Amino acid sequence: MTMMKRLYLLRHGSTGAGNRYIGSTDLDLSPEGAADLEGAAGLLQRQQVDAVLCSPMRRCRQTVDRLGLHRRAEIVDDLREIDFGRWEGLSFAEICATDGELVDRWAQGAADFAFPEGESLRGFLGRIDAIRTMLTATPARRPLLVTHGGVIRHLLCACLGIEPEKSLLFEIKAGRCTVIDLHSAGGVLAGLNLGGR
């Protein structure tokens, strides 16, 4: 089984928004989130990363600026987080209080689910497929993707052959790196939430 690529998936540093649903809201890194990237920066500087692909969101672009990789990042629109629509900025408890039935449909992994006034799961998963296709096509053998928790969870599922509705089984921490080795026969999880201080 030949290794074709090693993917580094870095979730942006913390924004200080706490346990709120932040997708399309374009927040900055918090000072704590910026400082907490030191461990991931040190890890990635030793990995011979040969391409940097970044979500267009400010929190991701600011994360790249803190890594000290001396490599220009390519902004990739498909790497942005899912748009939670009217759930943006709310906590899970607040969402349950107003949209309990929709939360149940989301939890059941309904194929036609769409966040109210936001993005559909089908559209989001289409973006994940587009990212996988892009990764296959890129000549880079050790690309770094600076992106969001939801994107990383779903890429993990796609690369490891796991159903997308199982994506919440992965806890993806802010400012931490996940590593997937892509082989001819599929993906292998080589590291999760690496780069803590």
**Bridge partners of residue 194, in order along the sequence:** 177
51-54 vs 73-75, strand pairing mode: parallel
The catalytic position among 32, 38, 74, 81 is: 81
**SS3 state of residue 120:** strand
183 carries an active-site annotation: no
- CA neighbours closer than 13 Å in the CB half-sphere of residue 55: 29
101 carries an active-site annotation: no
How far are the Cα atoms of 10, 16, 24, 40, 116 from residue 105, in angstroms, in the given order?
29, 29, 21, 36, 12
Active site residues: 12, 81
